[in-house]
């Protein structure tokens, strides 16, 4: 996350360690620590070779490799700027001017510039602004920066549960909820959906912008289809074919399918029993 004096991201200095949870790092140039099952990546605004070497000596962790790159390159070459979906304006924290959502995307998925996020946002906006759908509660599976969860709250949901298994994503999502004043409506939970998935029957809408393997697993669980509406994305052409085979067609039907470049999104609804 950005902390003073930093107001935007310029270069990222990344250190890939073999330790899943390195010792706590107290450094003014630290952006965050991305923990993975078999290692971690530490992100800084500046070169920290000496500090990392010291940390490795003290903790026994091993530096696998270090790299520095432009923030834009981390974001797939995309400059992160403001954009509008229907009448919802999203801006990064470093941009001035009016915005409905002000986001610090940090190094987490969910700046709003990936096609799958944008498709979800468009569909979320459409269904939340259709009064007949009456969406008061939303479950966001794989929340990343929290953008979709915050948007759901901005668009009127009173109860939003946002879940991610990446502790750094959860930290970033919580901070974004606080800075947008929706922390009383959005709860962020750090959970691995492969192990544990909240009961979707408690929500009007489930958004799942994930990846094919995890979507496939979730689609085969009865509990995934408990909400009235579902928005799913995170797949391209051939993956879509595979996922279609896993849908419980007797329980749900399609409301619509959208596509941006190669990325697809579906909106589905539960059949009346």
Ligand X SMILES: C[S@@+](CC[C@H](N)C(=O)[O-])C[C@H]1O[C@@H](n2cnc3c(N)ncnc32)[C@H](O)[C@@H]1O
Q: Which residues bind ligand X (CB under 6 A)?
A: 109-110, 114, 117, 120, 142-144, 147-148, 163-166, 169, 192-194, 209-210, 214, 234
User: Which residue of this chain has its Cβ atom nearest to ligand X in the complex?
Assistant: 142
- What burial class does residue 110 get, using C-beta atoms within 10 Å of its C-beta: 0-12 exposed, 13-18 middle, 19+ buried? buried
> Least distance in Å: CB of 127 to ligand X?
15
> Least distance in Å: CB of 259 to ligand X?
16
> Least distance in Å: CB of 70 to ligand X?
21
Closest-CA residue to 35 (of 165, 210, 197, 194): 165
> Least distance in Å: CB of 157 to ligand X?
15
| Sheet with strand 101-103: strands edge to edge | 83-85, 88-92, 101-103
Give the nearer residue to ligand X in terms of CB position, either 12 or 90: 90
Give the nearer residue to ligand X in terms of CB position, either 35 or 99: 35
**The tokens of 27 are what?**
């450094």
Residue 54 half-sphere exposure toward CB, CA atoms < 13 A = 6
> Least distance in Å: CB of 28 to ligand X?
26
Closest-CA residue to 229 (of 196, 192, 263, 266): 266
> Least distance in Å: CB of 75 to ligand X?
12
Give the nearer residue to ligand X in terms of CB position, either 52 or 146: 146
Give the nearer residue to ligand X in terms of CB position, either 209 or 227: 209
> Least distance in Å: CB of 24 to ligand X?
21
Contacts of residue 231, Cβ cutoff 8 Å, sequence gap at least 6: 120, 123, 124, 127, 205, 206, 207, 208, 265, 266, 267
Give the nearer residue to ligand X in terms of CB position, either 55 or 135: 135
d(CA 37, CA 195): 14
> CB neighbours (10 Å) of residue 10?
10
Give the nearer residue to ligand X in terms of CB position, either 55 or 148: 148
> Least distance in Å: CB of 264 to ligand X?
13
d(CA 90, CA 99): 6
- Cβ(101)–Cβ(90) below 8 Å: yes
Give the nearer residue to ligand X in terms of CB position, either 20 or 28: 20
Query: Which residues sit opposite 192 in a β-bridge?
Result: none
Give the nearer residue to ligand X in terms of CB position, either 171 or 268: 171
- Cβ(242)–Cβ(216) below 8 Å: yes
């Amino acid at each position: 996350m950005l902390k003073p004096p930093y107001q935007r991201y310029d270069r990222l200095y990344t250190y890939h360690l073999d330790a899943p949870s390195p010792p706590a790092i107290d450094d003014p140039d630290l952006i965050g620590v991305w923990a993975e099952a078999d290692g971690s990546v530490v992100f800084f605004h500046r070169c920290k070779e000496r500090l990392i070497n010291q940390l490795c000596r003290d903790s026994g962790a091993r530096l696998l490799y270090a790299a520095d790159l432009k923030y834009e390159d981390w974001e797939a070459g995309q400059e992160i700027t403001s954009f509008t979906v229907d009448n919802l304006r999203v801006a990064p924290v470093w941009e001035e001017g009016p915005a409905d959502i002000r986001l610090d995307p940090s190094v987490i998925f969910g700046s709003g510039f990936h096609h799958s996020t944008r498709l979800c946002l468009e569909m979320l906006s459409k269904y939340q602004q259709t009064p007949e759908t009456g969406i008061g509660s939303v479950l966001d599976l794989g929340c990343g920066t929290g953008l979709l969860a915050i948007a759901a709250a901005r668009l009127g949901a009173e109860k939003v549960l946002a879940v991610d298994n990446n502790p750094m994503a959860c930290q970033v999502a919580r901070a974004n909820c606080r800075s947008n004043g929706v922390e009383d409506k959005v709860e962020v939970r750090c959970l691995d959906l492969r192990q544990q998935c909240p009961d979707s029957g408690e929500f009007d809408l489930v958004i799942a912008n994930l990846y094919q393997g995890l979507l496939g697993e979730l689609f085969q669980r009865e509990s995934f289809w408990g909400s009235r509406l579902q928005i799913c994305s995170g797949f391209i052409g051939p993956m879509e074919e595979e996922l279609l085979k896993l849908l419980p067609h007797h329980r749900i039907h399609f409301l619509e399918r959208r596509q941006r470049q190669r990325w697809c999104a579906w909106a589905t609804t539960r059949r009346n029993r």
